């Protein structure tokens, strides 16, 4: 991502997470990014285009981080633990991005459908890690697809928890959540 797109990415996330998608304007995004409106339109045709970009790029960032932090691990359970840790670390670090995702999950507009399609890519990645652990006999192999969605669900509820409990010890919360997930997937 080039420097200008990164600035727009961060400004759009800020606008969408604070005001919501519908109340955010191209003018506000340009102003927050510190770029001319023409520069914004040079890179993106519309607010929808910006939204699609931030969701796609943001989830690629999560996926890349998961792959990078698990590639050196051999044990499927350790990989799953790392997936949990990476998810939660990133949720805390990029809370505004995850607030944006959660705020746009429901509805029938094209934007929401595209978001769900992008999330499906993430779910398939998680399914791969779960299947590897199930094939090794380390977790219950039933309902792998549901378990992959539950990984996201736990992450989503952690966003809500972190918004309510701003004084929490994040390391303790991450460790407790990882243990909860391991029990939930039927770790043997």
Contact in structure between 151 and 62 (CB atoms under 8 Å): no
**What is the total count of domains within the chain?**
2
pLDDT reading at 163 higher than 80: no
Does the pLDDT of residue 118 top 70, yes or no?
A: yes
* Claim to verify: residue 39 and residue 83 sit in the same structural domain: no
What is the domain-level CATH number for residue 124? 1.10.357.10
| Residue 112: partners with Cβ closer than 8 Å, 6 or more residues away | 104, 105, 106
Structure confidence at residue 25 (pLDDT) = 92
DSSP class of 187: B
What mean pLDDT do residues 98-126 have? 83
pLDDT band for 187, please (50, 70, 90 cuts).
Answer: low
Sign of CA dihedral 18, 22, 28, 33: positive
Average pLDDT, the chain: 86
pLDDT at site 176 = 81
How buried is 28 (Cβ within 10 angstroms: 0-12 exposed, 13-18 middle, 19+ buried)? middle
List the domain range (segments joined by +) for residue 15.
1-44
Is residue 159 predicted with pLDDT exceeding 70? no
- Asked whether 151 and 83 are in contact (CB, 8 A), the reply is yes
């Amino acid at each position: 991502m080039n420097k200008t797109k990164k600035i727009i990415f961060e400004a759009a996330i800020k606008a969408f997470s604070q005001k919501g998608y519908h109340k955010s304007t191209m003018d506000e995004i340009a102003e927050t990014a510190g770029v001319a409106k023409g520069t914004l339109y040079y890179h993106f045709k519309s607010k929808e285009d910006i939204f699609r970009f931030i969701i796609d790029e943001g989830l690629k960032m999560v996926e890349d981080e998961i792959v990078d932090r698990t590639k050196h691990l051999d044990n499927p359970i350790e990989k799953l633990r790392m997936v949990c840790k990476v998810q939660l670390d990133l949720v805390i670090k990029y809370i505004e991005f995850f607030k944006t995702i959660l705020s746009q999950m429901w509805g029938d507009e094209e934007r929401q459908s595209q978001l769900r399609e992008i999330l499906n890519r993430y779910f398939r990645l998680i399914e791969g890690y779960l299947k590897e652990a199930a094939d090794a006999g380390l977790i219950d192999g039933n309902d792998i697809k549901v378990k992959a969605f539950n990984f996201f669900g736990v992450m989503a509820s952690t966003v809500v928890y972190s918004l309510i409990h701003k004084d929490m010890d994040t390391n303790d919360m991450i460790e407790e959540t990882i243990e909860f997930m391991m029990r939930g997937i039927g770790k043997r």
